[in-house]
Every structure is written in C-alpha cells, then in structure tokens.
Copies of this chain bind each other. A is one copy, B any other.
C-alpha cells in the first residue's frame, strides 16, 4: 500500500547497472511495486559503483534502487526460469535491457512473454533500434554519447571530444522509457491491452542532440552550419567573482539594464556600445571583458544579494559539496538522512516534484541482494518447502 499514483502496478525489472534501474526507480518512487530480479552475483552496479560499508551497496546503486524489492534467480536453471515465467504472468510491466539475441535465448522477448498475457506491457531498452544495421551492437553510455553528438558538442566547445561527466545517455533514456511505459499504462486503461515498447538509446540521444544543434542545416538548402552559436559561445560559462564563480543570465535589454544598475554603472544604459541587443552583439568581446572585470570586485554572496534586489537572474556556482548544503534544498528537504539496514546512516535523495494527489508515502531502503526472495515467492503461492529447495539450490 504505497499510496502513489502507480499503487497496484507491478513491475518486473530484469535490468541492471543504470539505464533500466533509473527508469524503474521512477516507477517505484511513484508507487509501483518494482521487483528487481538479480542473478546470484547481484547487479554489477552494487560493486562497480564504488566502496560501501558492506561492499555490496555502492552509492550509485543506492541512488537508483530505492523503493524496490530484490529477488535472486539463477536464470541458467530450469526451475528459476519457471518461476520467472510465473512472475511475468502476474506483472503489469516487464522491463529488459539485453541485446536481441540474448533476449530470444532467454525467452524474454515481447512475443514470448505476451503470449497468453495480452495485458502485459513489455519495455525493451536497447542500444540501437531494430530495423537498423547497428541493432545487434553492444552499447554503453559513453559509446552512445560519443556517437550521438554529445561528444561533438563538447568538442565544439573545448577543442577535443570528451564525454559529459555524468551518465547522461543512461539517465536521459531511462527517463524516456518511463514515459513510454506510462503511455502504455494509460492506453491499457482505455483498451484493456498491453503493449510492446522499444526504446533505443542511440536514436533518442541523436534526436536530443540534433534538436539542439541541427540548427541551420535543418533547412533545404541549408542556411548555414550546424551548431547553436549561442550555446557554443565560449563566453557562455560561469563568471569568476572575488571568491568563486557566479552564474548570470542577462540577455534582454531590461535584464542588462538592471545588471548595469546592480553593478553601480547606470550610465551604461545609454552607452552606444551596450544600449541594445544589437550593440552588445557587435561589441560582444568588450561587453564580456567589462562584465568579467566588474564581477571580480565582490564575493559571490554579495553579488547574489545585489542581483536578487535588482531582479537580475543569477545563482551561485555550486560544487557538489556546496550543493549538498544549499539552504533552499534544505528548505524543501531534498536530502534526507535515513538509516539503511546494512549500510548504516545514508543520505537519500528525495522526490523533487509535487503532486497534489499525493506521492508514495512509504520509503523502502535500497534492497540487499535477494532480500525479498522468500517474500515474493510466497506471494506467488509457492509452498515453503519448494521455496527452500529453490533458494537452497541457488545458494549452492
């Protein structure tokens, strides 16, 4: 009885590492009963994500697996595969992220699982879409970033190609998978029928990057090169202050004039070099140099107080450490200190969004590997002796 909008929806999560778990965590956070199926060695991210008190619960694992239950099944065994089939038959949503051939071999394709279960929603997170020549290629976040234009954008800005220093493809495509699953759940309410969904990482990230940077090549004939020049301007970055950096955005005349007032230079409102968008564009280097020098004169906090008074859009540049102590985030209680059964006190990341109808009201700590195996099997109606046989065999 989680209390969220997805209360009563059961999700069988056969994914691991990041892209799948991000998707299913969103469903879990909003009330779905997410059963995470792990192999005997556990989700790779438990260790790959770094140190932890138990050695099995890395920080990254903790942050993408809350509100889920874990069951261990060794899918190389016939009896475990039989259990998985029974779990699928009772699920509303199954999420997988293997490659096509592995999916077929394991009997986990949409066709196999939806036979006799037309209400089931099958969501397949793939590296590359079926029907294209890369369909069977393996994919990782960095490979998708590098091939989808993320690294191209970073190259335009920094000179050499790099990857975004976060699992951007995994995270973004995980969010998109949630949408597709929610669309199918909504439609099922109308039609009674489930769905087979394919969410390819490469195509989704290419669509994102081309939305940003196809730019003048959108037109036929092209009106100019690819790349959004406003975004790729090297001056488009946090500006140094006396003691750190500030993020400031003063683009319109009104904002720029407020900025001139805020720094005590109201006469610049009528300076022909800076008194219009066109003038500032024509004298952009001089304008940025001026801004750069002016902001050096006070601390970030002094500037923020002044800019807030003048309604100039500005925020401090945060390091990860200062972000964790941000007073607004404390006001809204984004970070919550909770007790984890195996790891002791940890910082949980709360829900950023609000629904008037209420979100999930309970909190399940990220599960220890196989923590809910017995519980989930008992819910299937499996006799205790049979559970013992299955889990005993798994332990061997």
Contact = CB atoms under 8 A, between A and B. Distances in A.
Nearest to A179: B178
Contacts of A52: 219, 223
Contacts of A228: 49-50, 60
B195 A355 contact: yes
Contacts of A332: 129, 131-132, 200, 203
A316 interface: yes
A143 B249 CA distance: 7
B51 A223 contact: yes
A356 B154 CA distance: 36
Indicate the member of A147, A152, A315 with the most B CB atoms within 10 Å.
A315
- This chain's copy number in the assembly: 2
B172 A323 contact: no
A2 to B, nearest CB: 13
A99 to B, nearest CB: 10
A281 interface: no
A313 B53 CA distance: 32
B218 A346 contact: yes
A316 B147 contact: yes
A236 B59 CA distance: 20
Contact of A320 (B5, B149, B223, B231): B149
Contacts of A227: 320
Interface in A140-175: 140, 142-158, 160-168, 171-172, 175
Interface of A: 5-6, 26, 30, 48-53, 59-60, 62-64, 110, 128-134, 137-140, 142-158, 160-168, 171-172, 175-176, 178-180, 182-187, 189-191, 193, 195-200, 202-204, 206-220, 223-224, 226-232, 236-238, 245, 247-249, 308, 311, 313-321, 323-324, 326-329, 331-332, 334-335, 337, 343-347, 349-350, 352-357
Given A59-B218, A142-B249, A226-B324, 13 more contacts: A59-B214, A129-B332, A134-B315, A146-B238, A146-B315, A146-B316, A147-B318, A150-B166, A157-B162, A167-B231, A182-B186, A210-B320, A220-B346
27 contacts: A5-B183, A5-B184, A5-B186, A129-B354, A132-B332, A133-B327, A133-B331, A147-B247, A147-B316, A151-B245, A161-B237, A161-B317, A162-B237, A166-B231, A167-B212, A172-B175, A175-B176, A182-B182, A186-B189, A187-B357, A195-B355, A203-B332, A203-B352, A206-B352, A214-B320, A214-B349, A217-B324
